[in-house]
Chains A and B, each alone.
Chain A
Amino acid sequence: MRHHLILRVVTKLLIGSIMIFALYVQFHGDYSPGGGFQAGVIMAVGFIIYGVVFSLEDVQRVFPPWLVHKLAALGVLLYAGTGIVSLFLGYSYLDYTALSPHHPVHGQHYGIILVELGVGITVTGVMVTIYYAFTSRTPIMDDEAW
């Protein structure tokens, strides 16, 4: 889409706010609608829109596939790891009280933020992975065919 000047400029402006919004949804999920899953999707959309309007090579230079795959696994690991940590601290699996034994409510907050972050990272990674998998195959039509 080299010739769509307006599209490219507007996309450049939008990507920043999309990503900020994703982070807002991620970390403000305790107070407003949203959470890890939604934030992960929005963050992935930020990368996908860049890939759609510019090109796959451009977005893969910013966010290389190997990193995306690692991130998808890292999110699950973060979530499960939170559970393991509480297990080692002598509480049951995924009992966030372990993260702050003197103030269980704070422990719940930390736990929720951590696991939501894990969900968000995984969802971003997987969505971008699927997008890469679909678009990195050779398409049979060019831009003009649309």
Chain B
Amino acid sequence: MTAFAVVRTQSLFATAMLSGVFSLLSALLLVTLDAVDVAFTEAAVGAGISTVLMLGTLALTSRFERPPSHSPVIPLFVVLVTGAALVYGTLDMPNFGDPNAPAQTHVAPDYIGRSPHEIDVPNIVTAILASYRGFDTLGETAVVFTAGVGVLLLISGLRRRRRKEKEDV
């Protein structure tokens, strides 16, 4: 329903706020699925930071959506096909909580069995992230850092150049 409101509204301010609401709702969904860590991230990043960043972008651009310049039929078709493919994909997924699902039988029992005496950290998610998958997390941190550097290069470089132009004039 929130997603519909996001699509329908013309005011970009309302869109930003509604996508924050959408993130909060998906965080609730993740809590129901017992993925508290992910829910935490979703609530903080999706509802918090990205809303602020969208508002920041809005302040730089304009507040209202322009009426679309072409017919919405083709995009609608693409979205419908993608959605149908995704729904079709979920048909093959194991049932929720199925103990024989691939995710439960591969490495998860190993981690759950080993982490109490090897790492002894009650939050197994942290144990896996920081220790068993330490390299992955290092890579993620590097990605976050690279993203920050990228934004910095793109945006603040532009500003400096513009200031120089102004001085030239």
Question: What CA separation (Å) do A93 and B138 show in the bound complex?
Answer: 11
Contact B48 A112 (CB under 8 A): no
Contact A108 B148 (CB under 8 A): no
**Whole-angstrom distance between the Cβ of A127 and the nearest chain B Cβ:** 6
Question: What CA separation (Å) do A141 and B121 show in the bound complex?
Answer: 50
Q: Which residue of A lies closest to B133 (CB)?
A: A94
Contact B41 A41 (CB under 8 A): yes
CB-CB under 8 A for A134 and B155, given A32-B123, A76-B142, A112-B119? yes
B37 at the interface (CB under 8 A from A): yes
A139 at the interface (CB under 8 A from B): yes
Which chain A residues numbered 9 to 26 have a C-beta less than 8 Å away from chain B?
A: 25
Chain A contacts for B144, CB-based, 8 A: 122-123, 126
Question: What CA separation (Å) do A123 and B148 show in the bound complex?
Answer: 9
**Whole-angstrom distance between the Cβ of B44 and the nearest chain A Cβ:** 4
Question: What CA separation (Å) do A131 and B51 show in the bound complex?
Answer: 11
Chain B contacts for A136, CB-based, 8 A: 156, 159
Contact B152 A133 (CB under 8 A): yes
Size band of the A side of the interface?
Answer: 35 or more
Q: Which residue of A lies closest to B135 (CB)?
A: A94
Q: Which residue of A lies closest to B59 (CB)?
A: A139
Contact code string A17-43 (vs B, CB < 8 Å = 1, else 0): 000000001000111111101100110
> How many inter-chain residue pairs (CB < 8 Å) link A and B?
150
Question: What CA separation (Å) do A141 and B120 show in the bound complex?
Answer: 53
Contact code string B12-49 (vs A, CB < 8 Å = 1, else 0): 01000000000000000000000011011100110011
Chain B contacts for A104, CB-based, 8 A: 118
A87 at the interface (CB under 8 A from B): no
**Contact of A125 (CB < 8 Å), options: B63, B148, B155:** B148
Contact code string A67-79 (vs B, CB < 8 Å = 1, else 0): 0010011011001
- Closest 9 A-B residue pairs measured CB to CB? A126-B148, A134-B56, A33-B36, A139-B59, A133-B155, A94-B134, A112-B130, A41-B44, A30-B121
* Chain A residues within 8 Å of B, Cβ to Cβ: 25, 29-35, 37-38, 41-42, 44-45, 48, 52, 69, 72-73, 75-76, 79-80, 83, 93-94, 96, 104-105, 108-109, 111-112, 115-116, 118-119, 122-123, 125-127, 129-131, 133-137, 139-141, 145-146
Q: List 21 A-B contacts (CB under 8 A).
A: A25-B40, A30-B122, A32-B123, A33-B36, A37-B140, A38-B40, A44-B49, A73-B145, A79-B138, A94-B135, A108-B121, A109-B119, A111-B134, A119-B137, A122-B141, A125-B148, A126-B148, A129-B148, A129-B152, A137-B155, A139-B59
Apart from A41-B49, A123-B141, A145-B63, 10 more pairs, CB < 8 Å? A30-B121, A33-B36, A94-B134, A94-B138, A108-B127, A111-B130, A122-B141, A122-B145, A134-B53, A134-B57
